[in-house]
Each structure stands twice: as structure tokens, then as C-alpha cells.
Structure 1
């Protein structure tokens, strides 16, 4: 490419994202027996993560389950006040491809009604697990969703901007035992991997994204940042993003708006 195609002369666009707010999924699976609104990831880990983002001047996208809007209303309002995007992650973190047509329609309706009542507009959607149904695209358009962040490639599909994520840029890929089969499918060991290994690979992916003049979504789950070692990885990654003028680090909604107005970003060069 002869000239940068991202804002301000940047060579690459990267979004720092977070998923899962509190116990929405646990409640859905009948695995939560503590008082609602007391999840340690929200009470202990998230405040430190938000402070780190502030310190580095980075605005993130948090994909939040709509159920959590009522339970953690003050937390969500604080995130929005800090300039972070609040996007959609299902009603209670449902496995999207397993939903029947009726259940998917109902999930959209319940989620967007909750968002309207709360006073937030969903510009984007990240499906739990990264996959959607064929009918999902029409539902996204009907509800005014501008972008989706699934597994896949950067593109505009059926009028919706696709801002993909890669498993290797997700903390859960390294830190969670149940991701063993996914690790194996990507050429890694089935056992969990260390924070230092995650950091090494993430920084390498950032370099590759800059070289390719592409887009990358980084994903940290607050419930997995339970150690100083893991939080230190996040701190160093944020420092890397904030210090590199060749990177446009922006919330997904801003990147989606840019892609929608500059389709050459997703069109291969001649």
C-alpha cells in the first residue's frame, strides 16, 4: 500500500476490548449462588483495568451482556463516562449457534429493550464464542447494529462491518483449561499457557498487524485478571499500544465507522 489508509497516518488499527460483565453467564447456567452484583471481577479487577486504560489514554470497547445493565448500572455508566464504548454480548452470554430462531429473535428483543431502558445504544455485537447463524445478519440490520466482532476476516457483509478477533489475541485462549481443544487446533499444547507466553505472542501479533497495515482486536476478560502477573501483561500491552504512533488504537465503533466510510480498507490492493 502506497499510503496509510487509517486515520492520522496510522499504519494499523487496533481495538482493545473486554468481554463478560459479572455473573450473567453463571446465572443463566444456574451456577451462581452469591448475591447478585457481587462478582469479584467487577468489584476487584475491573476498577484496576479501567484505571490502567485511563493512564494510557486508551478508549476500549466492553461487550456487555444486557442482563448486566441493570445489575451493574453504576459500573456501566462509569465506563461510558470515561469514554469507553458499551457494546452487546448477548442477554446472558448465550452460545449463539445453539439458539433456535425464536430464541434468537427473543434475545435481540430482550437485549435491545434492556439497552433502551438503560439509555445505551448498541452499535456493535460480539457473539459469545465468536460464531453466528445465517439469520443473524438480517436481525443485526433490523436492530440498527453497525458492526459485529466474530471470528473471521475484516470485511463488510450484508451492510454490516465485520471487525474480527483471532483466538490467539484472546487471554482465555491461554488461561482457561476448557480452551485446550482450541489451543490444540491452533498448534499449541492442550495445557494452559503462561501470561508471559500470552504477552510474547500478543506483541508479535501487534507487530505483524502494523506490518500488514491491518486491523486487530485484542481481548482481555476481567474475570481472568486475578493475578498481578496477568495485570502486568495488560499494563505492558497498553503501553505498547499507546506509545506507537503507527497504531490507531480506537473503540470498535470508531473503527467500524471508518471502515464503512473507507471501503478501500477491506478491498485488496491491485
Structure 2
């Protein structure tokens, strides 16, 4: 039995004239996780995702949306000193650099001391890098946060978190701007996500860029229709073919040309929500 279409919102929760909000995001800056797992065999600072794919992605972002679409890049703090030119290119273009752990450690598996140590090392790395970065937001590697994470986010002045989960106002005054697996390119492109795909009802096989695009376009239409929020996630290291770059560009074109979509960095979306709490009740997030 098919579900009835979601009703149109009676009024927009977003800045006029927008009806919906979309954050275009990127994750994983270079080889931080590979070094942590001792699987990196090249010279440090030479990852093609940063040296080749990222510049092309930034050019596409600059091409669309008039003055360019501004994104949020969730970067490991370890990488700030390794790729200072890339970080500066991001901030100079008006993109937000947010936090993705110190070295892409799977967040849900950290103990108390390990979790606090990641905060401490990461904030030290930000100060040492002097790259104009202030971590306003956090996306936990692996998508899950721990109970104690909420207090640490408040302690370190983090304004929003982007995990798997429900959208809205979270604990400790932290805004929740979640992602879902199907809006992530890795969900469709990587073999290691077979179990996640199966759990989501998509089968275990790797899927095509065209299938990813079809799902994304339909989801964008739904978000506009319902006046909601979504986070789109493309990893630079996965943009390895012309077909994948074509999908990226078509998505950027779609969201930039729709006058009802507010495309903004996560930091600005969270700021709007905190300034208008009555539109975003706290019980809408777990």
C-alpha cells in the first residue's frame, strides 16, 4: 500500500523566500584514516583526492549558484597541517571547514579517555595550523555519537553535530543536522557498504552513479515539497570517473537553480535554527 504524499508545510521555517534547506557537504581530507590504520604507502601530503579531485570539485561549486555554492567540508584535524593550501582554498572560497575527528577514528567505538583525547588533540591542531578554521560543527566518523559526546560538544563550543539520526534541536543546546546513508556517495559506490545497503533495502551490490543521481533528485524534490532539510555528502576520493563528476555537477545545478532551496554551510543553517527555536522544537531530535 503506497503512502499518501507528504503535505506541504503551512509556512516555511527557513529564511524568505526559501521553503527548504540543503547542506552540500564533503568528508575526509586526505590520508588521515589510512595513516591511522597503517595502510598508507605514499609520501604524506600527496593524496590525489586533495591534489586532483578536490580542486575540480571546488571549481564546480564556484560555477553554480551565481557567486558559487558554499559547502561544508568535514576534515580530520590531523590533515590541517598536512594540507594547508587546500584548507586555505576552502576558507578563501567561503566554505566551512568543520570537524571529522582527529584522524577519522570510528567515534562510536571510542572510550571516555579516547574521546576526550580526540577533542584535545584536534583543538590543539586547529590552533597550531593557524588556518582561519573554527570548528563550529562535528560529523562523527561512522555516523554515531556517544552519550558523553553531548557534554564535550558543549564544553568545546561546538554548535551543531551531523550524525545519523533525527533533525532538530539536540541536547546541551547543540543543533542536529543529520545525514542519511542514501544521501552519501559511498553508500552507492563502495563495496564495504554492502551490509549498510542491505539493511536499507537496496541489496548488497555496488550501485551505479546513475542510480545514486536518481535517488538524490527524487529526495531533493521531496525535501522541497515538505519544507525540510537534507545533507548531501560527496567524498572527493570517490570522484574517480567522468560519470561520477557528471552526477556531482547535475546535483549542484539542481540545487542551485531552485529558488525555493536555501543552500548554505551547515554552520549558517544551525545559526538560523538557534535564532528561531520556536520553529525547531527540541523534541524533534534524540
State the TM-score bracket (shorter-chain normalisation): over 0.9
Q: What is the aligned counterpart of 1:97 among 108, 114, 119?
A: 108
Q: What is the aligned counterpart of 1:5 among 5, 13, 18?
A: 13
What SS does structure 2 have at the residue aligned with 1:16? strand
Counterpart check, 1:218 vs 2:226: no
Where does 1:121-132 land on structure 2 (aligned, <5 Å)? 121-132=134-145
Where does 1:1-80 land on structure 2 (aligned, <5 Å)? 1-56=9-64, 57-80=68-91
Q: What is the aligned counterpart of 2:146 among 102, 117, 133?
A: 133
Deviation at 1:33, TM superposition (A): 1.1
Deviation at 1:97, TM superposition (A): 1.2
Counterpart residue number, 2:93: 82
Deviation at 1:9, TM superposition (A): 1.8
Q: What is the aligned counterpart of 2:259 among 222, 242, 245?
A: 245
Provide the aligned C-alpha RMSD in A: 1.2
Q: Measure the CA separation in 2 of the matches of 1:265 and 1:182.
A: 33
Q: What is the aligned counterpart of 1:259 among 252, 273, 280?
A: 273
Where does 1:156-235 land on structure 2 (aligned, <5 Å)? 156-158=169-171, 159-235=173-249
* Structure 1 residue runs without a partner (length 5+): none
Deviation at 1:42, TM superposition (A): 0.7
Q: For 1:175-204, what per-residue CA distance to the aligned partner results, in whole angstroms no more than 9, with x for missing partners?
A: 000000100011111010000000000011
Q: Measure the CA separation in 1 of the matches of 2:223 and 2:71.
A: 18
* Structure 2 residue runs without a partner (length 5+): 1-8
Deviation at 1:262, TM superposition (A): 1.2
| TM-score, L = length of structure 2 | 0.92
What SS does structure 1 have at the residue aligned with 2:52? helix
Q: Measure the CA separation in 1 of the matches of 2:279 and 2:92.
A: 30
Structure 1 stretches of 4+ moved >3 Å? none
Q: For 1:24-81, what per-residue CA distance to the aligned partner results, in whole angstroms no more than 9, with x for missing partners?
A: 0000000001000000111111110000000111000000000000000111011100
Q: Measure the CA separation in 2 of the matches of 1:260 and 1:143.
A: 17
- Number of residues of Structure 1 aligned to a counterpart in Structure 2: 269
Counterpart check, 1:107 vs 2:107: no
What SS does structure 1 have at the residue aligned with 2:16? helix
